[in-house]
Amino acid sequence: MAKSMTIEGTIEEALTNAVDEAFDDWASEHPSMANVIERIKITEPLATSLRKSPQYKAAAAAYHRSSLELELAGRLLDLAKTFLPALLW
């Protein structure tokens, strides 16, 4: 049970990092928009949308099987970058 809690914490941390990095990348490409959009108002809905997606569930399941944090981080970052524009438009 303790290992599962650690895995869940790692997945949540990876999700937070992916969402933050996706927003930073987007903000660097759209600085004018980023100046008027509150980060928290975008990153929280983005994380929620990701958690509900089948792709997120697949990435989390793969992590549960392999415990490869780098693979999880990469998959979640790619997913966050895909979902972010949809939230903004």
At 6 the pLDDT is 58
Render pLDDT for 18-74 as a digit per residue (tens, 0 to 9). 989 999 999 999 998 888 888 888 888 888 888 899 988 888 888 877 777 778 888
Total domains, the chain? 1
At 41 the pLDDT is 81
Helix (H) or strand (E) holding 26: helix 2-29
Check if the beta carbon of residue 19 is closer than 8 Å to that of residue 47: yes
At 2 the pLDDT is 37
Range of the domain at 53: 2-88
Amino acid at 53: S
- Judged against a pLDDT cut of 60, whether residue 3 lies above it is answered with no
Helix (H) or strand (E) holding 49: helix 39-52
